[in-house]
Amino acid sequence: MVLRFPFVLATPSACKSIVPRFVACLLLGIAISACGGGEDDPPPTTEDSIMLGNENQYNSTASLDIPSVETAPTDLTISWDALDADLQCHDVELPEGIRNLTLLRFEKSEAEVAERLSGEPILANELYDVYYGHKTQGESTSAKLSEFATLTGSETFDVDESYVEGDITYLLIALSNEALGVGARSMTFLRPSADSLVDEVSIAPGCGMLDFSAEFQEPLSVPAEGPWVLDWSEVEVDGQGIPTSFAGVDRLLVGFYPDRDVQSIEEKIFDIELDAAPLYELELKGGMSANLADARERESNEKFSGFEQDTEGTWLVALTCRACQNPQPILMTVLEPTAP
């Protein structure tokens, strides 16, 4: 699975039941619908269902070291022509790889904002004012601060009035998607100062800004020959130990990692979708259970038929919420096939 590290804004009621696992689930009312999801007809829980518990849930920690640039309080020229790697150290193709810029203002220190982005959610009412953004259309690598506008485009960013020295923290985010807050690739704090003559800012590559680790807990025993109906209704927390309802789960992934042990997967946690061979996926639209037999291999579209492989390795299963644009799986565990 390719973990995405987006920045999404949400009202308290919009995503509080699916609180963020890395970057705060903030969402301005327009994206409330993004927190739905599930399977059309999830299989019912039976005595053969495989129950997951909190002991199977992985643990994760995250922190951000966001660069800060002191600039003149002027109409900055912002460029991202050097942004060739994202927060996961994956390549960014320019110019098409960056399609949106976001400018957010907070009445918090830079350290407080960075800490909250990697932990408890920042709510929309904690922003100093409205969201400003600039859609690049994937065709440019620079923009002026005065080109930023509100979501509807009804109001442009007033540099003279709104980009001034003081107690406000300015956070600039480069994203891979035109949708609000989707797919953060890099971040930069801007600090206007009357003593600075800097009028150009280059957004640095995101690689190195994120310190993220994951640790798998107790493997989940599954029958080698099936049935494989997984039920996660008894899991109470996400990967950060934060209570979750799983309301936004919209995809199940199950992958095999040939000749890999658990520790080696933890060490390359950003690449778990890239490294799986094979990788099966199943679209979900509701419920708290799913049948692995309905998952299809990404390349061949063949249905999952069992755990038998020609080599030793490790199986994982993960639940993700793409609509909520969460950077890490809501649930992830190692599967341990057992003899009939």
Number of structural domains, the chain? 2
| Sequence-separated (6 or more) residues with CB below 8 Å from residue 269 | 3, 212, 213, 214
Would residue 263 count as lying in a domain? yes
Task: Over range 208-218, report the average pLDDT.
Answer: 92
Looking at the structure, do residues 143 and 277 belong to the same domain, yes or no? no
Q: Which amino acid is at 45?
A: T
Q: Minimal CA–CA distance to 8: which of 86, 87, 102?
A: 102
Give the pLDDT confidence score for residue 124 in this predicted structure: 73
Structure tokens at 98: 């960056």
Looking at the structure, do residues 139 and 218 belong to the same domain, yes or no? no
pLDDT above 90 for 196: yes
Looking at the structure, do residues 132 and 259 belong to the same domain, yes or no? no
What phi, psi does 266 have (nearest 5°)? -60, -35
The pTM (predicted TM-score) of the whole model is 0.72
Give the pLDDT confidence score for residue 181 in this predicted structure: 63
Q: Angle CA(76)–CA(81)–CA(86) in degrees, nearest 5?
A: 105
Give the pLDDT confidence score for residue 86 in this predicted structure: 92
Give the pLDDT confidence score for residue 127 in this predicted structure: 83
Looking at the structure, do residues 70 and 179 belong to the same domain, yes or no? yes
Q: Given 187, 208, 229, which residue is the final one in a domain?
A: 208
pLDDT in tens, 297-312: 999 999 999 999 999 9
pLDDT band at 4 (very low <50, low <70, confident <90, very high): very low
Give the pLDDT confidence score for residue 137 in this predicted structure: 86
- Cα 137 to its chain centre, rounded Å, is 22
Give the pLDDT confidence score for residue 24 in this predicted structure: 35
Task: Over range 13-38, report the average pLDDT.
Answer: 32
Please state, in angstroms and rounded to a whole number, the distance separating the CA atoms of residues 186 and 203. Answer: 7
- Rounded to a whole number, what is the largest CA-CA distance in the chain? 73
Task: Over range 255-266, report the average pLDDT.
Answer: 96
Give the pLDDT confidence score for residue 63 in this predicted structure: 87
pLDDT in tens, 283-298: 998 899 999 999 999 9
Would residue 288 count as lying in a domain? yes
Which of these ranges, 93-107, 135-149, 233-247, 291-305, has the smallest mean pLDDT? 233-247
Please identify which residue in the block is written with the tokens 């107790």. Answer: 218
Q: Given 158, 190, 208, which residue is the final one in a domain?
A: 208
Task: Over range 42-67, report the average pLDDT.
Answer: 87
Looking at the structure, do residues 176 and 74 belong to the same domain, yes or no? yes
- Residue numbers of the domain that contains 284: 36-61+213-338
Give the pLDDT confidence score for residue 285 in this predicted structure: 87
Would residue 6 count as lying in a domain? no
pLDDT band at 62 (very low <50, low <70, confident <90, very high): confident
Looking at the structure, do residues 196 and 264 belong to the same domain, yes or no? no
Give the pLDDT confidence score for residue 11 in this predicted structure: 33
Looking at the structure, do residues 181 and 223 belong to the same domain, yes or no? no
Would residue 176 count as lying in a domain? yes
Give the pLDDT confidence score for residue 180 in this predicted structure: 66
In this structure, what CATH number is given to the domain that contains residue 123?
Answer: 2.60.40
Task: Over range 156-184, report the average pLDDT.
Answer: 89
Q: Minimal CA–CA distance to 133: which of 70, 178, 185?
A: 178
Give the pLDDT confidence score for residue 219 in this predicted structure: 97
